[in-house]
Structure 1
Amino acid sequence: MVAWQKDGGAKQLLQLILLHTAWEMGRGQLHYSVLEESQHGTFVGRIAQDLGLEVSELVPRMFRLVAKGHEDYFQVNVQNGILFVNSRIDREQLCAKNTECAIHLEVIVDKPLRVFHVEVEIKDINDNAPVFSVNEQILSVAESRLAGSRFLLAGASDADTEANALITYTLSPNEYFTLNSGTGEDQNKSPVLILKAPLDREESPLHRVLLMATDGGKPRLSGTVQLVINVLDANDNPPVFNQSVYRVKLLENTANGTLVIKLNATDLDEGMNKDISYFFSNNVPSSFTKIFSINSNTGELRVFGKVDFEDVNLYDLQVEAEDKGNPPLSGHCQVLIEVLDVNDNVPEVTVSSLSVPVLENSPPGTVLALLSISDKDSEANGQVSCFLHPPGLPFKLTSTFKNYYSLVLAEPLDREQVAEYTLVVTAQDQGDPPLSATSSLVVPISDVNDNAPTFAQPSYTVFVKENNPPGAHIFTVSASDPDVAENALVSYWLDEKLWPLSSYISVHSESGKLYALQPLDYEELKLLEFQVRAKDAGLPSLCGNVTVQVFVVDENDNAPAVSGPDQDSPTLVKVPVAAGHMVGKIHALDADSGYNAWLRYELHDAASGPWRVGLYSGEVSTTRALEEAEGGNSQSLLVLVKDHGKPVMSTTATFSVSLVASAQAAQSDARLSGMGGNTKPLADSANLYLIIAICSVSSLFLLVILVYVALRCQSQAKEAMMYGPGTATLVCASEVGSWSYSNRHSHILAGVSGEPGAKSDLMVFSPNIPVLAENGKELVPNAAGQVSCTNPYNS
């Protein structure tokens, strides 16, 4: 019955084991436990059986055990499938103070491949005794400490866990100290030594007590430490300052090492308890301790760094005085250092806004810039006044708010007078001595089109020789505009309202050069007067104008022409006649003027018998007396008519004379041939009057020229040559001189035929003759009286 029960219990136990194994297999993980410090070969479990593997299959299926990151603490015997301890396991080394400590293993078999997880829990044993960090703990306890005073002790440590690490403390028996080590959960806290009765250093200056720490393991292990308790003399009088608050005034920028104040504290104790050290309290900012230092022995407070009123103007220093008692006692005081400002900061000028460039037509009151003035000093040292330099500029500073100014336009601007202003803004405080700062502002002035183009003269007089080549450059006008850019870009055009000039003159719109579009003919056109306008490119554009008078200068391009009645009618002369008797006159005209129209007469054959011709009058007269016996003769005289131009142009005239006796009472009539002749003579008296009139006009014109030159010299003109009305230009008129314009052709004055001394022509010309070079260029005197040659067609 008993055996059967034993067998039945074994079967039930086996069934439970198999059920547990199956349950673990269902979970996919086996769990074993083993004590630390187990010897090699200690049985852990039948791992093959628990995994449901046949022992015979372990080797063929390549059964192997893999530890995860640990040493080979375990091994499997493939002959019997038993898991055993392979090497010593130290739980404290493996898991330290962790409550749970386990080693995870992997079992791998092949064919088919399967992986099993095995966890082996390492059980703790009480193999470590409590240990103190030191062998001896020294405490100092003043004799003045009251009963119940508590002193924290350094506790012991145990490498084991749970109950094996549960430490309790006990103190060796004594009459002054007891121990409070806590209970329950507090047992692992550090022990506290409690004073049971006051100490008396004179009776017992030193106490030795043994402190024991015991763990809760089985068997119980313990460790001890010796407590050495020194009884100290009572330091029951702290140092005391003579006042609790010290107030000091200090100028900023005080030199390093300057004494601020000397503090003094007293202590009524004796010996070491009376020796005092001074230091700053912990609540003093570290930045303050970089500026002030205190002598720990003397209590002297001195400047150590830079004292700047603008950074900190009040320092609150807490100073402690501590004696050298054991334990030390201390007292404290408050030192308030008020920093006094000195004028050590220069005012600062900041330009926050600057609107440039400024239009020159901006109205007064326009705000150009905003300025702010600052000074870090205080009171009078920080009060700043601001002004502009140099004075007299068209700007002013207007205060808009405290230390804020506006730069305002005070007067109208003119860019043509001043294109840019450099302003110096000076800010000066009221310190003693005052400090100042300057800031330069450059204010450029922007141009507006407020100036019209202007010419140097109101009018120009230009002399141009006739027969000029088409497109010849005859003159250049130039207008200036003090504006800039497009406002000063000048273009030129002709005003043709008064004269249709398009076929005669043109002007280059950019250079202002005047061109003659066709050859000019003095005999057709003697004067061109027109206006040249200059316009800038501004918006709106402005204009200026100048009057130009172009005088056409005559050239010797016309030969003399003989005019008169029928050339076949001879002049009848009654003989006898006396020597010098005028028998007729050759009349010729020249379309030119001046010297080019001044004619002279010569006989082609100097040995033409008893005849001669007046050099300038063309009068034919006898050189000797003719007798009546010479009557009935007929002669033809060939007269050569030349002008004074260069080159000389000429023509010929045939004068026929028939000598008749007085009885025939024939009327003489001169006959002209060639280009024609005029037999109507001019009266000598008319010629005389005209000569006198022409000389008067010429003299008056010369006088005007002299007066004009004198006035020009008096005005000290900057240029050596200026164009104007009646002023000679740089244009060569002819090879012999520049003749002024004459609005009259050569006049023919005819008198009564036969009057002695009669003149035929009177040429009107100007005595204003410039000096010419041999090549025909005009020599113009400059301001120094020197002469240079210019060519009008090359200008």
Structure 2
Amino acid sequence: MLGFQKRGSGTLRPLLWLLLLTAWQAGSGQLHYSIPEEAKHGTFVGRIAQDLGLELAELVPRLFRVVPKDRGDLLEVNLQNGILFVNSRIDREALCGRSAECSIHLEVIVDRPLQVFHVEVEVRDINDNPPVFPLKEQRLRISESKPPDSRFPLEGASDADIEENAMLIYSLSQNEYFSLESLTNSKQTKRPSLILKKSLDREKTPELNLLLTATDGGKPELTGTLQLLVRVLDVNDNDPEFNQLEYKVRITENAAKGTVVIKLNATDLDEGVNADLSYSLMSIKPNGRPLFTLDENNGELRVNGTLDYEENKFYEVEVQATDKGTPPMAGHCTVSIEILDLNDNSPEVSVTSLSLPVPEDTQPNTVIALISVSDLDSGANGQVTCSLTPKVPFKIVSTFKNYYSLVLGSNLDREKVSAYDLVVTAHDGGSPSLWASASVSVEVADVNDNAPAFAQPEYTVFVKENNPPGAHIFTVSAVDADAQENALVSYSLVERRVGERALSSYVSVHAESGKVYALQPLDHEELELLQFQVSARDAGVPALGSNVTLQVFVLDENDNVPELLPLRVVGAGGAVREPVPRSVSSGHVVLKVRAVDADSGYNAWLSYELQSWAGGERSPFSVGLYTGEISTTRALDDADAPRQRLLVLVRDHGEPALTATATVLVSLVESNQEPKASSRALEGTASSDPSLVDVNMYLIIAICSVSSLLVLTLVLYTALRCSALPIEGACGPGKPMLVCSSALGSWSYSQQRRQKTCSGEGRSNTDLMAFSPNVPPGSGSGDSGVQNGIFENVSTVILECISCLLMSLM
């Protein structure tokens, strides 16, 4: 009967299905089917997909498959209709021998998500094997002196089937001397024996031909026959007898060859040769004749081969004791040998359905692989437990008897460990315990969980101005801890505006190498600090990125010639004409030459010197090295030429130094010819002319007024700026301011530069170099920023006016 076994009337069928469903749920997903052996190809077994609750449309997408365990391809599943059917001939006797239970165990595996079901298909026995006697003919020698009711054991038949199909009934052909008796031993095996109904008369009937028939209990019945040839002997009228008809012994498997199983002893009431016995083996079931030997003289039964519990657990040995009388008489006994199991089989471990590689973002408790174990031993020797390599983020979970799942126990991080070599070890319960192991290599797949990282958040780069276009100024490098495309980093500029121009017009970055190039020559006088960001992004999905800040300081080069400030110009060629009274003494300041340099630092530090002197004697004039003041070196006399031409060379301290020249024409006049109102900017010159005193008075008043206004402006400006910025000291960014390049010399002013001035303690240096602060333009916000900006413009205008006024007065 195919499919689920159904018994009872139609009214019990719903109840039976309910019981089967309850049993299936209680069995952790195990299905049970039943089919007869020798079923034809295509025979229906069961609707396995329906019984497992799976839709037919999802069998193929979910990779539905049936994995038999050591049973070949006896059964198969039609993926179109989900029916389990017989694929090839099933011989129960070949599959399970004489075992009372015979089943085919299947594993049904579906993916997405991974599920495992266990299916047991019971193979029912049919009556396809007739009883078979070991011999076609058996000869019996029976003395005529045997009394009635004497028993003569016969070689029974065997049937490869089981249960009712193997229950044999014996019958004997009709005769007047013998009847048949069937005895059942402790193993429920029937053994036929001939019973003598009346005394034999050899002279009347020397031989008898009988037919022994064995019929099994199957439907239809099958039979087997044995020809019995009975020869009637004379005289020796006592049979050898064993002290018991059946002996039971136990012996461990793998017993050494020659080990004594039992020593049999039979006795004969006769005397002389009629009592002299020899022993012989009649049969050993099942098929164990090569495994035992019997000493014909002393009756010792010994091991002759290798006993294997896993092959046969029980042997039945028929022993015959025969005397040497004439005719010889025989006695019989049965030796039942039980084989005891030893722990001689190591467990077997099988790992299947590996899901590799494992993404590092896989959630814990995800099934990675399926593990099955087995052990051919029995009892505790066959009970297997599994363990896993310690200190790994995986664990083994038991899902069914001898079935386990390898699952993820905790989160993975490929950047820490990229692969795991796992060892699954199976131990049995024997003593000593045997074990086996299987290795599993689990590779961790990368996911994009790490952004590119720079070594530091900010870099400071120094570049000389006037660099060639396309010059390499710096290389940024970011490292991504991920792998493959997730670690492939590309670079780009974070675009912004620098003044009126885009950042990309100044610099560019190579997308692959991270090299930063200056696209045009940089000008320190135009741009002292270029601050921007470079972005690094990986190629993962989604892409991750990070930024790094670059502060590029443009270093000054001496590329600006000193520029002379305008004075009174008289005559052609731009020469300055200045009258000087002959009555002045040594040290009289005649004129102050003023110049500025657009560079900064040492490149803007100016020095003055007289280039040449036409006279033969020492020049009566000299120029201050750093002040530019032309003064007399001695008292003038009549020998000095009335017109003196001085060439002043202005030189900066750059490498190489750049120069400019100023021509000063000095006219020596008598004291009574000195101009009434001189516009010369002289310092420390006394005069008794009242008009000059008035001019000096007005000059002093103007200077004091302007100085007061300047001080007030600086105080207000500083207060407003410091109130809008964090308290970091009396300093802040501002518009262009005066920079003193020397404590002794000239004042230089640049309207292109943005400087930072600070008030500090200690002795001032003779050379002050100011760098731009690392504050991006436009950092102010709100009303304070607007107010500061307005005040900066006002301050700048006032400073420029003061500078122009001072220069005009000087």
Q: Which TM-score band applies after superposition, normalised by the shorter structure?
A: 0.5 to 0.7
- Counterpart of 1:402? 401
Paired letter, 1:438: S
- Counterpart of 2:577? 570
- Counterpart of 2:249? 248
CA contact (8 A) 2:291 2:307 kept: yes
Please give the alpha-carbon distance, in whole angstroms, between the structure 1 residues aligned to 2:414 and 2:142. Answer: 94
Correspondent of 2:563 among 529, 542, 561: 561
Paired letter, 2:334: Q
Instruction: List per-residue Cα deviations over 1:403-441 (Å, max 9, x = no partner).
Output: 211111121111111111122222222322323322222
Instruction: List per-residue Cα deviations over 1:379-418 (Å, max 9, x = no partner).
Output: 2222222222223x22121111122111111211111111
Quick check: 1:594 aligned with 2:601?
yes
CA contact (8 A) 1:593 1:745 kept: no
- Counterpart of 2:291? 291
The offset of 1:622, in angstroms, is 2.2
Identity of aligned pairs, percent?
55
Secondary structure (helix, strand or coil) at the match of 1:315 reads: strand
Paired letter, 1:618: G
The offset of 1:352, in angstroms, is 2.2
The offset of 1:494, in angstroms, is 0.9
- Counterpart of 1:490? 489
- Counterpart of 1:280? 281
Compute the TM-score of the two structures, normalised by the length of structure 1.
0.56
The offset of 1:669, in angstroms, is 5.6
Instruction: List per-residue Cα deviations over 1:116-166 (Å, max 9, x = no partner).
Output: xxxxxxxxxxxxxxxxxxxxxxxx9998499xxxxxxxxxxxxxxxxxxxx
Matches within 5 A, 1:387-536: 387-391=387-391, 393-499=392-498, 500-536=502-538
- Counterpart of 1:722? none
- Counterpart of 1:614? 624
The offset of 1:351, in angstroms, is 0.8
- Counterpart of 2:348? 348
CA contact (8 A) 1:143 1:198 kept: no
Q: CA 1:423 to 1:651, structure 2 compared with 1: closer, same or farther past 3 Å?
A: same
Q: CA 1:142 to 1:295, structure 2 compared with 1: closer, same or farther past 3 Å?
A: closer
Q: CA 1:412 to 1:198, structure 2 compared with 1: closer, same or farther past 3 Å?
A: closer
Q: Which runs of 5+ in 2 are unaligned?
A: 1-139, 147-200, 207-230, 571-575, 682-698, 715-732, 749-765, 773-810
- Counterpart of 1:645? 654
Please give the alpha-carbon distance, in whole angstroms, between the structure 1 residues aligned to 2:737 and 2:768. Answer: 7
The offset of 1:757, in angstroms, is 6.2
- Counterpart of 2:633? 623
Q: CA 1:195 to 1:525, structure 2 compared with 1: closer, same or farther past 3 Å?
A: same
- Counterpart of 1:382? 382
CA contact (8 A) 2:466 2:522 kept: yes
- Counterpart of 1:319? 319
Paired letter, 1:765: M
CA contact (8 A) 1:600 1:615 kept: yes
Paired letter, 2:375: D
Please give the alpha-carbon distance, in whole angstroms, between the structure 2 residues aligned to 1:344 and 1:641. Answer: 109
Secondary structure (helix, strand or coil) at the match of 1:570 reads: strand
- Counterpart of 2:721? none
Please give the alpha-carbon distance, in whole angstroms, between the structure 2 residues aligned to 1:548 and 1:435. Answer: 67
CA contact (8 A) 2:357 2:443 kept: yes
Quick check: 1:309 aligned with 2:309?
yes
The offset of 1:514, in angstroms, is 0.9
CA contact (8 A) 1:746 1:764 kept: no
Matches within 5 A, 1:151-162: none
CA contact (8 A) 1:572 1:669 kept: no
Larger Rg: 1
Instruction: List per-residue Cα deviations over 1:729-776 (Å, max 9, x = no partner).
Output: xxxxxxxxxxxxx9997946699xxxx9664458532799xxxxxxxx
Q: CA 1:371 to 1:195, structure 2 compared with 1: closer, same or farther past 3 Å?
A: closer
Q: Which runs of 5+ in 1 are unaligned?
A: 1-139, 147-193, 200-229, 672-679, 694-741, 769-795
Matches within 5 A, 1:618-767: 618-627=628-637, 629=638, 633-666=642-675, 747=738, 759-761=746-748, 764-765=768-769
Q: CA 1:615 to 1:746, structure 2 compared with 1: closer, same or farther past 3 Å?
A: farther
Instruction: List per-residue Cα deviations over 1:578-597 (Å, max 9, x = no partner).
Output: 33332222222222222222
The offset of 1:493, in angstroms, is 1.0
The offset of 1:537, in angstroms, is 1.1
Secondary structure (helix, strand or coil) at the match of 1:576 reads: coil
The offset of 1:519, in angstroms, is 1.5
Matches within 5 A, 1:70-89: none
Please give the alpha-carbon distance, in whole angstroms, between the structure 2 residues aligned to 1:517 and 1:525. Answer: 14
Structure 1, 631-640 or 522-531: larger mean CA deviation = 631-640
Instruction: List per-residue Cα deviations over 1:440-483 (Å, max 9, x = no partner).
Output: 22111111111111111111111111121111111111111111
CA contact (8 A) 2:241 2:331 kept: yes
CA contact (8 A) 2:361 2:411 kept: yes
Secondary structure (helix, strand or coil) at the match of 1:336 reads: strand
Q: CA 1:281 to 1:624, structure 2 compared with 1: closer, same or farther past 3 Å?
A: farther
Please give the alpha-carbon distance, in whole angstroms, between the structure 2 residues aligned to 1:439 and 1:198. Answer: 74
CA contact (8 A) 1:574 1:668 kept: no
Please give the alpha-carbon distance, in whole angstroms, between the structure 2 residues aligned to 1:271 and 1:327. Answer: 13
- Counterpart of 1:361? 361
Secondary structure (helix, strand or coil) at the match of 1:238 reads: coil
Please give the alpha-carbon distance, in whole angstroms, between the structure 2 residues aligned to 1:401 and 1:142. Answer: 61
Correspondent of 1:583 among 584, 590, 599: 590
Q: CA 1:232 to 1:384, structure 2 compared with 1: closer, same or farther past 3 Å?
A: closer
Paired letter, 1:649: L
Q: CA 1:743 to 1:271, structure 2 compared with 1: closer, same or farther past 3 Å?
A: farther
Q: CA 1:312 to 1:647, structure 2 compared with 1: closer, same or farther past 3 Å?
A: same
Paired letter, 1:586: V
The offset of 1:542, in angstroms, is 1.3
Comparing both chains, which one has the higher relative contact order based on Cα–Cα distances under 8 Å and sequence gaps of 6 or more? 1
CA contact (8 A) 1:471 1:517 kept: yes
The offset of 1:609, in angstroms, is 0.3
CA contact (8 A) 1:597 1:763 kept: no
Secondary structure (helix, strand or coil) at the match of 1:290 reads: helix
Paired letter, 1:460: Y
The offset of 1:608, in angstroms, is 5.9
The offset of 1:632, in angstroms, is 7.6
Please give the alpha-carbon distance, in whole angstroms, between the structure 2 residues aligned to 1:142 and 1:435. Answer: 56
CA contact (8 A) 1:453 1:542 kept: yes
Secondary structure (helix, strand or coil) at the match of 2:474 reads: strand
Please give the alpha-carbon distance, in whole angstroms, between the structure 1 residues aligned to 2:452 and 2:232. Answer: 113
Compute the TM-score of the two structures, normalised by the length of structure 2.
0.55
Please give the alpha-carbon distance, in whole angstroms, between the structure 2 residues aligned to 1:454 and 1:197. Answer: 117
Please give the alpha-carbon distance, in whole angstroms, between the structure 1 residues aligned to 2:443 and 2:141. Answer: 87
The offset of 1:244, in angstroms, is 1.4
Matches within 5 A, 1:90-109: none
CA contact (8 A) 1:570 1:669 kept: no
CA contact (8 A) 1:597 1:746 kept: no
CA contact (8 A) 1:275 1:323 kept: yes
Secondary structure (helix, strand or coil) at the match of 1:380 reads: helix
Instruction: List per-residue Cα deviations over 1:297-350 (Å, max 9, x = no partner).
Output: 221122222222222222222222233445543322222222222323222221
Paired letter, 1:659: L
The offset of 1:497, in angstroms, is 3.5
Paired letter, 2:596: L
- Counterpart of 1:19? none
